[in-house]
Structure 1
Amino acid sequence: MRILLIEDDPHIGDGLYHGLAKHGFAVDWLKTGKHGRDALSNAPYDAVVLDLGLPDIDGMDILAGWRQQRHDTPVLILTARDALPDRLAGLNGGADDYLCKPFALDEVTARLLALVRRSKGRAASLLEYGRLKLDTSAKSAELAGEPLALTQREYVLLEMLLSQPKHIHSRAQIEDKLYGWDQEVESNAVEVHIHNLRKKIGKDFIQTRRGLGYQIGTAP
């Protein structure tokens, strides 16, 4: 799951960047409104964490621009503006959620997961496919009732595939979900993750669509 973080405070930004990464998110952290304003047009994000008090452009102006451009990516405002009129303005201005500083990292994580679920048309946190179950809130998986040991990127890839079982995901799309813009991606990284999931779940679980990408196959 790829998150865009727009936050100019170095301490808050660093805490969110590393904290969300530990929860399995790929995070792109931008510190100015100018760079953040154009980011949704340049990469596919599952959600945005947006500060309002940026040094160059007010976060509300960035949000308004996104909505005018018909970007529907879920946006969580994270700000020190805690007055009721500010909260109402944020939600009425296109934000999907509003959280005031100071905050708990676990709450930010839970709210982001809820936003992404709703944006994909899912109310529940459980994904099931045959004997495979994936809990997107706990970020855990089990196969035939037994816990399934996955790396962070294997988990993200599995959630991506199960969320859209009929969709064919290209190699580039998978890379965009698994890695942030500042992370190096080895040429065979996606193939390695696919191989590992097949080994752990079943060799026919993921099908290769030659020239197109990968798709969920036989249910385990």
Structure 2
Amino acid sequence: MAIVEDDVQLRTLVSRGLAEEGFDVRVSVPTGEKFLRAIEGDPPDLLVVDIGLPDADGRDVLMALRARGVGVPALLLTARSSLPDLLSGFRAGADDYLVKPFAFAELVVRLGALARRGAPRRPAQGLRLDPARHAVAEGDLVVELTPTEFRLLAALAARPGVVVRRRALVAAAWPDGAIVHDNTLDAYLTRLRRKLDRLGKADVISTVRGVGYRMA
């Protein structure tokens, strides 16, 4: 499993405690960038990630992981307990959510349940998403995205071949309760396609008229 938490003391305590409980803690790092680099080609079977990382939002890190086709069960840690924060975490691809401060015994029980549940993995996409820079790369080419473009692309890449409905895309890319008109969403997808064209990938996103969008 992997733990992504920038608080050194908490990360150390959680890593040691989970190892003592029988979890195989292979990766324990403070940033999203180090996590994604550490698991390249060898994804973990379970993930604990803090939302408030120093280099990226933990939800964006999780979305980047999902965009790679990795369906590993993931639990988000956060000091934020509001309903919008909780909902945004699940929409980013989280399987569970634990608010700080928390009882270690509860963390163990929740992770045990996630480990038993497991999740299928899909083949990784050719595009690589960078949550720290809000960028997408193909080979050595890198294109910067806005945070909204990044989240739209991540939501589509996480479900290749599946039509993602407009409502789901808005929920993934904008704050809870935001009013986003159809033409606004279409404009963002148009800009996103133009940026993907720089990578030779303009045609990977197709429009399903009246429903949503699909990524090949």
7, 10, 22: which one pairs with 1:9? 7
The separation in 1 between residues aligned to 2:14 and 2:105, in whole angstroms, is 10
1:77 matched residue in structure 2: 76
Counterpart contact for 2:73–2:119, Cα < 8 Å: no
State the secondary structure of the residue aligned to 2:62: helix
Paired with 1:42 and 1:88, the residues of 2 have a C-alpha distance of: 30
CA contact (8 A) 2:5 2:53 kept: yes
Distance 2:87 2:71 in 1: 19
Change in 2 beyond 3 A, CA 1:52/1:9:
same
Aligned-partner SS, 1:26: coil
TM-superposed deviation, 1:106: 1.1
Distance 1:58 1:120 in 2: 23
Q: CA deviation at 1:43?
A: 2.5
- Extract unaligned runs of 5+ from structure 1: 122-220
Higher Cα Rg, which structure: 1
CA distance in 2, matches of 1:58, 1:38: 16
Deviations 1:84-118 (A, max 9, x none): 10000001110010111011111111111111111
State the aligned residue count: 119
Q: Structure 1 residue 81: deviation in Å? A: 1.5
Deviations 1:112-133 (A, max 9, x none): 1111111169xxxxxxxxxxxx
Which runs of structure 2 are paired with 1:169-184 in the superposition (5 Å)?
none
Distance 1:90 1:48 in 2: 14
Contact 1:80 1:102 survives alignment (8 Å): yes
TM-score (ref. length: structure 2): 0.52
Superposed, 1:23-172 pairs within 5 Å as 23-27=21-25, 28-119=27-118
| Whole-angstrom CA distance in 1 between matches of 2:96 and 2:31 | 21
What amino acid maps onto 2:13 in structure 1?
A: G
Q: Which amino acid aligns with 1:69?
A: R
Q: Secondary structure at the match of 1:38?
A: helix
Amino acid of the structure 2 residue aligned with 1:60 = R
How many percent of aligned residue pairs carry the same amino acid? 45
Deviation at 1:42, TM superposition (A): 3.6
Alignment correspondent of 1:21:
19
Runs of at least 4 residues off by over 3 Å = none
Partner of 1:165: none
Superposed displacement of residue 14, structure 1: 1.1
Q: How does 1:182-197 map to 2 (within 5 A)?
A: none
RMSD: 1.6
